[in-house]
Structure 1
Amino acid sequence: MDASSIFARIVAVVGGIALQWRKLKEIAPAPAWGSSPVVPEGKPQGKIPTLKMPSAQGWAPGQKPSVAPGLKVNAFASGLEHPRWIYVMPNGDVLIAESNQIPTPVKSVFGYAMQATMRRAAALGDSANRITLLRDRDGDGVAEVQQPFMQGLNQPFGMTLIGETFYVGNVDGVFAFPYVAGADSITADGRRLTTFGTGGHWTRSLLASADETKLYVGVGSLSNISESGMEVEKGRAAVYELDVASGASRIFAGGLRNPVGLAWEPNTKTLWTVVNERDGLGDETPPDYLTSVREGGFYGWPYCYWGQTVDDRVEQDAVLVATAITPDYALGGHTASLGLCWHPAGFLPGFPDGMIIGQHGSWNRSTLSGYKVVFIPFTNGKPSGPPRDILSGFLAPDEKASYGRPVGVTLGPDGSLLVADDVGDVIWRVTGA
């Protein structure tokens, strides 16, 4: 056992003591879910915030997630290296971005503790920096072809094809690559379209507009609550709009701490995103959320949350706080909701119109949350009911180990839902039973 692993175990013990102390002092809050959640008052946790993360265990042979009634699940592909995001090409090829958060210099004992804990949970380490191509040639629901499509990238995440150009969201910017229909790989050099700061929240999701003239890009903050000042946060915590023809980009909406998945609600043609909120205020405070993205809108970070609830830990900007938009739908505290895709009614049997969300799972609350794939029904372009589980069982009952952690979700080319699992190193395939 190396020094980092030993330190992670020590952190787990100290964290466990802190958790028990907080449980004695506080009543566990109800989950903050829905359009009108009860968000508990924030209680700053100071220099010893809650730190609880399960060890990455992976799936035993034959083991798989639990699935909702009327559905079934199988491994579409396995043996990947930290698969994070999925994109389906027009010819049915399935592309997987394999990448990971990489360690950065730490500035405190807590920073080192967090990195040691994240390593144990397989949430920090080497990054494959690769996009892998999967093909199911015989239609049996398992990919027989699994080969590199692009290599030598820089923490790739979002992917989009427009015409003969393939776009990749690397951590440091969006790049455009020439693509030939049906190609097994791309080896040509890419053309940089944007430059983004690295470190911190590193995923760069991409989504094309319906007319394919614009790309929307999610860029998370560098820090939790701007601990190093707002100067280093310039151009972050935002959704960008990129003009494909000119390459010009602008911030479309801001104050979004870590907007990851992006999806269109097709009936109203509205852009939606899932956002990971700040840490250190309690188990359910504030909740992560699903929200429509208004052009020019400001969603609070770092000054306030869930509308105009001020975060007293941050030097305030009253003018911006007064404009902060309340998100549409709370997804529970620290669920790490990352994946997002639109689900048309009936695509999965028994499920109406709505959004599917991959919840990566918490690391910073007394009872872990997330670690599942959920469905939020929509009516008239808005969330309209309680969530339903699609996949669960990624977390051991005692919360000490995770078998998997869901990230990207997308509709497959064969009528299935595909889910990237970056601890199990699997792409799960969900269909009707």
Structure 2
Amino acid sequence: MADVTARIARSTGAVESPLTDPAGFDDWFAEFGERIYTTAERVPLAALDQWYQTPVTGDLWHRSGKFFTVHGLRVHDPAGAVPSWSQPIIDQPEVGILGVLVKEFDGVPHLLIQAKAEPGNPGGLQLSPTVQATRSNYTGVHKGRAVPYLDYFRDTSRHRVVADVRQSEQGAWFYRKRNRNMVVETTAEVEVLDGFRWFTLGQLYRLLSRDDVVNMDLRTVLACLPHRSRTDGALHRMTDVLSWINGARSLVTVRTERIALNALDEWRHGEMGYSHESGGFFDVIGVSVTAAGREVGTWRQPMIEPRGTGVVAFLSREIDGVPHVLMHARAEPGYADVVELAPTVQCIPESYRWLPPAARPRHLDEVLAAGPDRIRFEAVLSEEGGRFFHARNRYLIVDSDVPEDPGHPDYRWLTMDQLTRLLRHSHYLNVQARSLVACLRSVEAARPAG
């Protein structure tokens, strides 16, 4: 592992490469975006020709029985500021593959990255993993073209596995969704197909600071890479961190039960989809998609559209000279193990207009009030464009003077080394936290040596 970590550090430090000229990125990206695109037009749910709503429950199912369903979920949280509610949720039990292929050139590992258009992406193309596919996609349920480079991840016997861990996705919108996050290194010759390009890790980190360029799936895989960071000086021992997480999972009071989509309290079902009667939170909509350069050229599907731009932030500070970030042990109804570590703040601020004051996230006001002198990283990044329509979050890393004891048992200061160690395992850091880990590493990479 030490050898792999050192080589990953070499790629992190490389912002120049004979394979990819950073100055030519914009031209390549723009030219490819003129040929590869998706357009999504809103349509009534009844017009989703490959989908049907069951007569009794109203749940949305694909006619193949694959892909995903949309059903209702009732949530009970007696200790929470909102003790119970119901909502639509996406149920996608398949485990997909998010895979990045690595190959060394001139002693520097490079990552094969795809420029990919998703129907929910704002603005079109984004950089994605080498492979980004659900099981239904790569087993050909859609009857489209085969997924390029998939064999490197389905049969790793001739290659080197750098990372392979199952991770969750948004627990507020997905029910127990998991994807296999993989990084595989090869020494074989690799044909670079149209729309793919080799990048160093340092080049990708620089692109992370641009709005809506690096997609969620690539961010989560980058977070799972081995990382060289300081291993001493943590405020809490690792055994205590694990005990804290297990304790939170044992004490949590959240319970869920599946209910019919048409039995949701406080949700309206109209021709164009489902929406909360307050006008907040999110909608379930139908879209008709036309695509160029995808495995399938046209299709229709349901999507979730959030009401408002979210805020996802780490508060950061040095404790005895060692950088720490404030993590939140957060319960969400769709998590397989109920609690995962989340960023300090993770919310859509507009949603709290309709919730009791006690529900307002701790530290949100500090993040919103932070001036430029305290903001170490800021970019608006979008979430998974295959299921969510224009879901965007303002990602921030903000310097803070919150004390070593944050004053609430669900928050603790952890180091980057501790987060890296947790990321070797499933279901410790949620997808928003993994995105911010990638962003934090990009900040560290940009810091002058010494």
TM-score, with normalisation over the residues of structure 1? 0.26
TM-score normalised according to structure 2 size: 0.25
Larger radius of gyration: 2
Structure (1 or 2) with the greater helix fraction = 2
Instruction: Name which structure has the greater RCO, CA cutoff 8 Å, separation 6+.
Output: 2
